[in-house]
Amino acid sequence: MGISKTLLLGLKADDFRHPLDLQATNSLKQIPGLDIAVRSLMGNLAEQFFYLRNIASSILVSEKQLPELHKLLLEACQILDLEPPQLYVQQNPVPNAYTFAMRGKQPFIVLHTSLIELLTPQEIQAVIAHELGHLKCEHGVYLTMVNIMVLAAGLLPNWGVVIAQSLQNRMLEWLRCAELSCDRAALLATQKPEIVMSVLMKLAGGSPTLAPQLNLEAFIEQARAYEAINDSELGQMLKSAQIQQLTHPLPVLRAQEIDRWSSSQEYHHLLAQAQKGEQKGQGRWRNW
């Protein structure tokens, strides 16, 4: 892309994983048999279902098909030290992207056409890198479980619904935490916090017409104003109620987290270690 970036060879998920993600993941691992149940009962079926769906009704990105998007994928994978998954483009009026990696055999990312139309190439790469973060952090099993719980809740008897709802709430809480790790992966791939925050701003209130008019600095100020609501007990209670059934943290909260992490010693240490590795010509890091 003509922009010098630091290539993070040997990058591990725990190098950038958000503490809330780690805490929520460890909590889910305490549920007996959850991983095994999802992998054994839904693994093959889900993989085949989504693979056939994508091949039949989406566009598979490659060197021959939408090569610029393919290049964005390969560059992000190179920076994050990850094998490239399949990338599909799907016609859909709702700006969105998602990842599937049940058993790691056929991981893939799907981008909606409306999302591509809304974003710049660098912002699209940030979205791709966010989805790669799910693969890097091995979120696949629990991502699938969230969807299973949403579908199954209405099929269970009343007593089962209560149990399912409780588990579903835990899964949604985990997913919101996991998204924060993936936003960090997007930052590591783009290495410009303003790109990641611009994506969040456009997802909050953008359109192909409005996007060029949006002011990122004003959006960051908005994110900081949202944080200030924590000063009151009522504000904290309303915030908690607002996000309880959401699959993603609120855009302003995600922007605030990226703004904070991009200024942290942890983030700059990762990049500094990479640059030292390049200077020495060895080790797990080098520049691209």
Q: How confident is the model at residue 286 (pLDDT cuts 50, 70, 90)?
A: very low
Tens-place pLDDT, residues 70-124? 999 999 999 999 999 999 999 999 999 988 876 556 789 999 999 999 999 999 9
Check if the beta carbon of residue 275 is closer than 8 Å to that of residue 4: no
Instruction: Please report the pLDDT score of residue 103 as a whole number.
Output: 59
Q: Does residue 2 surpass a pLDDT of 60?
A: no
Domain ranges of the chain: 6-283
- CA atoms in the 13 A half-sphere facing the CB of 186: 29
| Res 288 pLDDT > 80 | no
pTM, two decimals, is: 0.86
76 vs 125: CA distance, rounded Å: 7
Q: Which of 47, 75, 131, 257 is catalytic?
A: 131
Q: Indicate the pLDDT class of residue 31, thresholds 50, 70 and 90.
A: confident
Amino acid 282: pLDDT: 45
The mean pLDDT of 52-65, rounded to a whole number, is 92
Mean confidence (pLDDT) of the chain: 82
CB 118 within 8 A of CB 208: yes
Structure token pair of residue 9:
């060879």
Say which residue, 65 or 28, is predicted with more confidence.
Answer: 65
83 is annotated as an active-site residue: no
pLDDT confidence of residue 30: 82
Task: pLDDT band for 173, please (50, 70, 90 cuts).
Answer: confident
**Residue 151 in this model has a pLDDT that exceeds 70:** no
